[in-house]
Amino acid sequence: MSEQANRVRVVALDDPGLAPFRGLRARGGARRDADGDRFIAESEHVVRRLLTSGWPVESVVGLRDRVERLLPMMSPETVAYALAREALDELLGFRLRRGVLACARRPARASLDALDWARLARQPRALVVAAQGLADPANLGSILRSARAFSIDHVLVDRQGADPLERRAIRGSMGHCFAQPWTRPASLRGELDAAQRAGFELLVATAEARGGKLPAPLVGYTPPARAVLIVGNEGHGVDPALAAMADRALMIPMAPAVDSLGVAVATALLMYALRRPVHERG
């Protein structure tokens, strides 16, 4: 057995170090442990991205072969636990198909840092996405994954909606939430005010007239150099007060029989269209 493999601890299910993982199914949508600071990531690909992100990881638990593959990425402070399949299922309260999880602490930058609008305004082009009131963490995770794919400068996440560090959001982002810049500001409206003062144009995504503005079809639209794309709640769309702040409303042309797209799909299409190079636009 290698020296690194000796780092892996084989413990009983009542070991105190396994407490953050115990009964995850019963805890349901609980976002973090009682200290308000920890979160859980699951699956080997996601945990791998977490371990290479520089975020502080306290512990990893899973099937021995999965844990040993991840050992080279773990800091000396990260504790590694190995469990048999039956014991892991009993610990979690469900069958984890991609047999490894990690417990980490939320770094200060993901929750406290303010977005530097002045710095972004100095860039030749900048695009920020503001997600307002998204209820489904899987949708938020998918948007963060797409934002990373399309090199979005920043994602603002409304505190009234899902948390990017909920397990389903992390899973939906495939761990890209650990690399994609995002913050949860105290006031989303305050950030949008700051964006406008910095010279950013506010664009609201909608399928109908909102805030007194008729939506412009995305086809043939030439986006501004610096913009904030505002997307809203799955059922109610963007809050009317925020929609009224927007400089322009945008819509994605669709077949008459379809009234809307899911927010994650629609946001991905909008991000691609607003971010792609000028010479590719029709």
Q: Which CATH architecture group holds 5-106?
A: 2-Layer Sandwich (3.30)
Q: Binning pLDDT at 50, 70 and 90, where does residue 70 land?
A: very high
Indicate if the pLDDT at residue 279 is higher than 90: no
Q: Which CATH architecture group holds 110-280?
A: 3-Layer(aba) Sandwich (3.40)
- Tokens coding 26: 């019963």
Instruction: Please tell me the predicted confidence (pLDDT) of residue 67.
Output: 94
Helix (H) or strand (E) run with residue 217 in it:
strand 216-217
Domain ranges of the chain: 5-106, 110-280
- Digit-coded pLDDT (tens) for 139-192: 999 999 999 999 999 999 999 999 999 999 999 999 999 999 999 998 999 999
SS3 (DSSP) at 237: strand
Q: Binning pLDDT at 50, 70 and 90, where does residue 136 land?
A: very high
Contacts of 4 (CB under 8 A, 6+ apart): 68, 71, 72
- Digit-coded pLDDT (tens) for 215-259: 777 877 889 999 999 999 888 889 999 999 999 999 888 888 887
Instruction: Please tell me the predicted confidence (pLDDT) of residue 266.
Output: 92
The backbone torsions φ and ψ at residue 131, rounded to the nearest 5 degrees and listed phi first, read -100, 115
pLDDT higher at 64 or 214: 64
Instruction: Please tell me the predicted confidence (pLDDT) of residue 5.
Output: 59
Which of 42, 38, 71, 72 lies closest to 55, judged by CA? Answer: 38
Instruction: Please tell me the predicted confidence (pLDDT) of residue 32.
Output: 44
Report in angstroms the alpha-carbon separations of 66 from 9, 14, 45, 80, 243: 13, 21, 10, 11, 47
Instruction: Please tell me the predicted confidence (pLDDT) of residue 118.
Output: 94
Indicate if the pLDDT at residue 53 is higher than 70: yes
Instruction: Please tell me the predicted confidence (pLDDT) of residue 33.
Output: 42
d(CA 254, CA 156): 27
- Per DSSP bridges, beta strands 182-183 and 100-105 are unpaired
Assess contact for 202 and 76: CB atoms under 8 A: no
SS3 (DSSP) at 127: strand
pLDDT higher at 275 or 51: 51
Q: Binning pLDDT at 50, 70 and 90, where does residue 208 land?
A: low
Indicate if the pLDDT at residue 274 is higher than 90: yes
257-279 average pLDDT score = 83
103-109 average pLDDT score = 82
d(CA 252, CA 147): 18
- Tokens coding 122: 């100095």
pLDDT higher at 91 or 29: 91
- Digit-coded pLDDT (tens) for 2-12: 556 578 888 88
The pTM of the full predicted model, rounded to 2 decimals, is: 0.89
Instruction: Please tell me the predicted confidence (pLDDT) of residue 42.
Output: 93
Indicate if the pLDDT at residue 206 is higher than 90: no
pLDDT higher at 282 or 36: 36
What share of the chain has pLDDT > 90, as a percent?
61
pLDDT higher at 243 or 208: 243
Q: Which ranges of 198-282 does DSSP label H, i.e. alpha helix?
A: 240-243, 263-275
Q: What is the DSSP letter of 5?
A: G
Instruction: Please tell me the predicted confidence (pLDDT) of residue 36.
Output: 61
The backbone torsions φ and ψ at residue 214, rounded to the nearest 5 degrees and listed phi first, read -75, 135
Indicate if the pLDDT at residue 76 is higher than 90: yes
